[in-house]
Amino acid sequence: MFSNHKCIVTKFGGSSLADAAQFRKVRDILMRDPARRYVVPSAPGRRFDGDTKVTDLLYACHRAVRNGEDLEVPFSQVRARYEEIHRELGLSIDLDSELNHIHDKMLSGADADYCASRGEYLNGLLLADFLSWRFMDAAKVVFFDDASNFDSEKTNVVMMALLADDTPTVIPGFYGVCPSGRIHTFSRGGSDITGAIVARAVRAETYENWTDVSGFLMADPRIVEHPQEISRITYAELRELSYMGASVLHEDAMFPVHKVGIPTVIRNTNHPEDEGTLISLALPALPTEPTITGIAGHKGFSVVAVEKAMMNSEIGFGRKVLQIFEECGISFEHMPSGIDSLSVVVSGEAFAPHREEIVGKIAEICEPDALTIHDNMSIIATVGRGMVSNCGTAARLFSAMSRAGINVRMIDQGSSELSIIVGVDDQDFERTIRAIYQEFVG
Ligand code: ASP
């Protein structure tokens, strides 16, 4: 069984393992704390602007074979990337035969998932050799079912058993195996998920996700100049922010660790001295912390507003409206409601092709007094634990918007008490985020 030693699972993203110099940084980080006993690598990422990620080259290999084009064009680039790391680090594994085997499998028509997964597989082999750690193929410990859904329980049981001996181990990210033996990958960026799965299985104290930024920013740096970093955030707050478009971590990577209460820390491989962002289950709202945790949003929503006197007493009214959207295959994002009104906020792109149909059906089935559609709406969430129960926050937010001359088209506080959501015209999107940031952060 697992010892009582503190244990940390680390995951290094593609840019953290893009070349030999990055491998050395990773080793230094691992050596600095003996608790870092499990490492999940991504495939080599971009080394400079304009460079191509190995995963993208591997998908290009698959396309080349499928389209009857020359495999050597993309494959020689893959080969060169690994050979360079192998050579510069003076590694001893037989890279040539690994590459030749993969090359032959590709030529004989291996599928896209197999091809893409080799990026992590090879990087894992190189890293294990460099560290002199055990290599554990993800195909032995990460399982999918026949329908290619991740089998979390089987994975957890097998992984726990195979990793229980505390031996420092490299487990490649991004892929696993189906019962048929076929390799299957998570969606892009999925090594984050593997890291979280390993953290859960070995009951890690912390899941460290090493990347090329020093944590999450409070707002999009393309909108707010030099936004502050978020030092601590809860999983629930992060979920709200990532839903709204902020992204650093794969969304599905939160669940395995969240479930068992293991905190995740986002750290920067190029600046290991930075503390990064700590994501945990619950955090006390300390007086020293900022009132808000972050601001994120999206443009391009359509709001379908339905008005009908006495709507509140008409049983099934909301269901009828939502069913119309459901039948068109459109999911709704928000649904603020008043006494005699209800608004359904949907993606403008998803709504456009069904517009006539939806309007017609609402008129026919729900017989509203009025039906209005506002297109080109932005939804902005201001997120912060404790913010909502802290009186005066909403007033500050709306005063800031009013001072900036921004018209609030919609307000939705949701029931999570974690965020205040406002709807504004797309043209006011950036100004709104700046006004809110300025008010709360300065
Ligand atoms: N290499 C894969 C990708 O580029 C998975 C990952 O990096 O997490 O999406």
Q: Ligand 1: distance of its center to the CA of 121 in Å?
A: 12
Q: Of all protein residues, whose CA lies closest to atom 6 belonging to ligand 1? A: 189
- For the segment 418-437, the average pLDDT, to the nearest whole number, is 95
Which of 191, 209, 251, 252 most suits a substitution to test ligand 1, by most atoms within 8 Å of the C-beta?
Answer: 191
Has residue 206 got a pLDDT over 60? Answer: yes
Nearest atom in ligand 1 to 191's CA: 8
- For the segment 103-128, the average pLDDT, to the nearest whole number, is 98
Q: Ligand 1: distance of its center to the CA of 185 in Å?
A: 9
Model confidence pLDDT, tens digit, residues 378-426? 999 999 987 766 778 889 999 999 999 999 988 887 667 788 999 999 9
Mean pLDDT of the chain: 93
Which string of DSSP letters, residue by residue, matches 358-427?
Answer: HHHHIIIII--SEEEEEEEEEEEEEE-TTTTTSTTHHHHHHHHHHHTTPPP-EEE-TTTSSEEEEEEEGG
> In which residue are the tokens 């391009």 written?
300
Helix or strand holding residue 312 (H, E): none
Domains contained in the chain, CATH given: 8-212 (3.40.1160.10), 294-440 (3.30.2130.10)
pLDDT at 414: 67
Ligand 1: does its nearest atom lie under 6 Å from the Cβ of 155? Answer: no
Share of the chain above pLDDT 70, in %: 96
pLDDT at 285: 64
Burial state string for 263-276 with b = 16 or more CB within 10 A and e = fewer than 16: bbbbbbbeebeebb
Ligand 1: does its nearest atom lie under 6 Å from the Cβ of 385? Answer: no
Nearest atom in ligand 1 to 119's CA: 1
Q: Ligand 1: distance of its center to the CA of 52 in Å?
A: 12
In angstroms and rounded to an integer, the radius of gyration of the C-alpha atoms of the chain is: 25
Q: Ligand 1: distance of its center to the CA of 101 in Å?
A: 22
- For the segment 212-234, the average pLDDT, to the nearest whole number, is 93
Ligand 1: does its nearest atom lie under 6 Å from the Cβ of 16? Answer: no
Cβ burial of 289 (10 Å; 0-12, 13-18, 19+) is middle
CA pair distance 278, 199, nearest whole angstrom: 15
Instruction: Tell how strand 341-347 and strand 370-383 pair up.
Output: unpaired
pLDDT at 213: 92
Model confidence pLDDT, tens digit, residues 274-321? 999 999 998 876 667 778 999 999 999 999 999 999 888 888 999 999
Q: Could you tell me the pTM of the whole model? A: 0.88
Ligand 1: does its nearest atom lie under 6 Å from the Cβ of 173? Answer: yes
Q: Ligand 1: distance of its center to the CA of 124 in Å?
A: 13
